[in-house]
């Protein structure tokens, strides 16, 4: 199971000129189609006098959700080349709008494909690409006297502490790398024996929950 993916860290913009037409490319991190559509609306409002707003996005840690729109350009000449640049950079959770201001010269099918692809490539070359880790929340509970062995287990893994509460017992929610969840659960169970409890994994009851 892969537990890493690439996306862009924040918004980016680039502009190219082809035979009098301006192509303004904007890229933005998104996590759903709804987010992408909302952001497209903001760009359209900003560039309200433009000829076309052609778009593409891909989202999901498995990179399995995507959409593109030629927005009135000949079919396949705008959205697909934008999406190909997202895929060529091996990105997900990324949306692009390429806004065109027509300059009076028709570019033809090949010219449009190159122009939209070049604009998308330019904005992604300017964007800061980051690698993110897919983490699964694991909720565990242990007694105060078992803090040391529990800490030794936690220290063995690449985790992020999401939540921690102290009372008569300690409860911790940690983000564990997706590829290491079972190893973590086994290590916690073996390290604390019957004194530790896995309450839930990704919101579902754990095998040892009581």
Using one digit for the tens of pLDDT, what is the confidence trace for 37-49?
999 999 999 999 9
Q: Which domain holds residue 195?
A: 134-205
The pLDDT value given to residue 70: 97
- Interatomic CA distance for residues 112 and 118, integer angstroms: 10
User: Which pLDDT score is estimated for 208?
Assistant: 45
Residues 100 and 185 reside in one and the same domain: no
Tens of pLDDT, residue by residue over 167-210, are: 778 999 999 999 999 999 999 999 988 888 898 888 666 654 33
Same-domain pairing of 164 and 67: no
Q: What's the confidence (pLDDT) of residue 24? A: 98
122 lies in the same domain as 49? yes
Residue 91: is its pLDDT beyond 90? yes
pLDDT of res. 62: 83
Residues 11 and 103 placed together within one structural domain of the fold? yes
∠ at Cα 182 (180, 184), nearest 5°?
65
pTM (predicted TM-score)? 0.81
Please, which pLDDT band fits residue 97 given cuts at 50, 70 and 90?
Answer: very high
User: Does residue 22 share a domain with residue 59?
Assistant: yes
Q: What's the pLDDT at 108?
A: 95
pLDDT in tens, 110-158: 999 999 999 999 999 999 999 999 999 999 999 988 999 999 999 999 9
Strands 4-8 and 52-59, sheet pairing? unpaired
Q: Cα 204 vs. chain centroid, distance in angstroms? A: 23
Q: Residue 169 sits in a domain of what CATH number? A: 3.30.70.240
Domain boundary (115, 131, 147) is at 131
User: Rounded to an integer, what is the distance from CA 165 to the centroid of its chain?
Assistant: 30
Q: What's the pLDDT tens digit per position in 21-30?
A: 999 999 999 9
**Which domain CATH number covers 126?**
3.30.230.30
Picking from 131, 148, 164, the residue at the C-terminal end of a domain is: 131
State whether 37 and 138 are in the same domain.
Answer: no
Report pLDDT for 193. Answer: 82
Per the document, the length of the chain is 210
| pLDDT reported for residue 205 | 64
Count of domains for the chain: 2
Task: Evaluate whether residue 210 is within a structural domain.
Answer: no
């Amino acid at each position: 199971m892969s537990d890493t993916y690439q996306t862009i860290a924040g918004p980016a913009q680039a502009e190219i000129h082809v035979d009098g037409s301006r192509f303004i490319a904007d890229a933005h991190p998104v996590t759903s189609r709804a987010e992408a559509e909302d952001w497209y609306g903001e760009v359209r409002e900003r560039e309200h006098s433009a000829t076309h707003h052609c778009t593409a996005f891909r989202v999901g840690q498995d990179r399995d959700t995507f959409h593109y729109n030629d927005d009135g350009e000949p079919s396949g000449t705008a959205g697909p080349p934008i999406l190909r640049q997202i895929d060529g950079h091996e990105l997900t959770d990324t949306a692009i709008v390429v806004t065109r201001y027509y300059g009076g010269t028709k570019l033809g099918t090949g010219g449009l494909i190159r122009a939209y692809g070049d604009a998308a490539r330019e904005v992604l070359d300017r964007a800061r690409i980051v690698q993110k880790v897919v983490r699964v929340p694991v909720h565990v509970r242990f007694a105060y006297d078992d803090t040391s062995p529990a800490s030794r287990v936690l220290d063995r893994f690449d985790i992020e502490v999401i939540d921690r509460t102290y009372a008569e017992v300690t409860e911790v929610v940690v983000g564990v790398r997706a590829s290491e969840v079972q190893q973590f659960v086994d290590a916690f169970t073996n390290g604390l024996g019957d004194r530790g409890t896995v309450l839930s994994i990704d919101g579902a009851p754990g095998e040892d929950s009581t």
